[in-house]
Amino acid sequence: MLIQLQYLRAIAALLVVYFHTILQLPKLYSSPALEMPVVGETGVDLFFVTSGFVMWFTTAGKQTSLREFYKRRIERIVPLYWLFTLLAAAIAFLLPSYLKSTTFDLPHLLASLFFVPWMNPADLTGAMIAPVVIPGWTLNYEMYFYIIFGGLLFAPKSLRPALLTIVLFAMFVAANAFVPESVLGRFYGNSIVFEFLAGVLIAKLYLAKRLAPQGIAITLAVLSFCLLLVGEELKWEGSRFLVAGLPAAIVIYCLVSIDFTRLREWRFLHYLGDASYSLYITHVFVLTGTRILFSKVTIEWAGNEFLFIVACLVNSIVFAILIYQFFELPIARRFKERRQSRVLISEKRPIPAGTKGDSA
């Protein structure tokens, strides 16, 4: 993985944490005095483009079986997500007053566990298509992309981008043409799906060494990142891909064009990039806990809105690091050890009769 994309993963996750933190303010303070920009949701768009890049980058030069590809994706995503989905469902069932964005509903829980888009029963307006763990809606898109991308691994590498484009576009058109008002139509008919394709095309350019000059790349990366946040603050309307996906794609293309090997490594940001999945999945629990803590404390500092924001960010980072270190990493190591043991077993050969060590 390119180190700049690890940095970007950390920044994208922090943007999402900040966005949800600002949304917590009116839940804690009836009339927040602190006017903070409500931005950060587009961290998701950076994740999607990065995901497309990584999938092409890690499979382009390898022979990967369909089974192995899906198995590794499941191992990467499912354990942590299922853990916190079941935790959220348990809290919603036993302590419903603590989770205002989730109510216990068995069909919704099952759909969440198996990455099926489903209307969130807590939203009485019927507008929110989201799983039990609200940020998990992005994982439904990730799994959708993985299913399509993995299914195309049988095709020659030169044809995969074209086939991926055709399948994504066909599904997008079908969703909007035949079932536009249904949950599946609204979900898969969102242009956000093309952000994965943008990441794939950027990876192809990177591997072909068709990159932007360093000076232009740095300038465009900064301008596009600012445009991403400005568009979010001004609530620009239009296709999600054009409004957020395209600036995110430019940011990532420019970043991979920059030679980061000459720069000093930002170790903490690199580490946080490794832990970004834990940060993304767990932060909503930490924000809720921090809000409850601040609401229970009666001393003066609990009324400081800026301190609340800082506490949310710091607590989210610390908790994510703990989950990454003591759950996500051990699980990943366990899966790796099992793969290696299977390889060793498959490589063993029976010793021919009569060789040294045989008993007569």
| pLDDT tens digit sequence for 150-183 | 999 999 999 999 999 999 999 999 999 999 999 9
- CA torsion through residues 211, 213, 218, 221, sign: negative
129 three-state secondary structure = strand
Residue spans per domain, the chain: 3-345
| pLDDT for residue 348 | 65
350 — pLDDT class (breaks 50, 70, 90): low
- Mean per-residue pLDDT, 185-209: 97
The mean of the pLDDT values for the chain is 92
Q: Which of 141, 140, 119 is nearest to 245 (CA)?
A: 141
pLDDT exceeds 50 at position 331: yes
Residue 43 pLDDT class (50, 70, 90 cuts): very high
The answer to whether residues 161 and 207 touch, using CB atoms and an 8 Å cutoff, is no
The pLDDT, as a whole number, for residue 64 is 83
pLDDT in tens, 78-97: 999 999 999 999 999 998 87
- What is the rounded CA–CA span in Å between residue 35 and residue 82? 36
- Kindly indicate the confidence band of residue 356, based on its pLDDT and cuts at 50, 70 and 90: very low
Specify which residues 119 forms β-bridges with: 129
Question: Residue 184 and residue 1: Cα distance in Å, rounded?
Answer: 33
What is the pLDDT at residue 352? 53
Residue 285: which residues within 8 A CB-CB, separation 6 or more? 84, 87, 88, 319
Asked if residue 353 has pLDDT above 60, the reply is no
What 3-state DSSP class applies to 33?
Answer: coil
Q: What is the pLDDT of residues 241-298, one digit of tens each?
A: 999 999 999 999 999 999 998 889 999 999 999 999 999 999 999 999 999 999 988 7
Q: How far is CA 155 from CA 147, 149, 166, 194, in A?
A: 14, 10, 14, 20
pLDDT band at 116 (very low <50, low <70, confident <90, very high): very high
pLDDT greater at residue 345 or residue 156: 156
Point out the least confidently predicted range of 122-131, 224-233, 245-254, 277-286: 122-131
CB atoms inside a 10 Å sphere around CB 160: 19
* Cα distance between residue 7 and residue 49, in whole Å: 14
Specify whether the CB–CB gap between 81 and 73 falls below 8 A: no
Residues with Cβ within 8 Å of residue 246, at least 6 apart in sequence? 198
| pLDDT of 360 above 50 | no
- Coil vs helix vs strand at 352: coil
Q: What is residue 132's three-state secondary structure?
A: coil
In angstroms, how far is the first alpha carbon of the chain from the final one? Answer: 53
- The Cα 339–Cα 333 span in angstroms is 10
d(CA 182, CA 173): 14
Quick one: average pLDDT of 309-327? Answer: 98
Q: How many CB atoms lie within 10 A of CB 306?
A: 10
Q: What is the pLDDT of residue 346?
A: 65
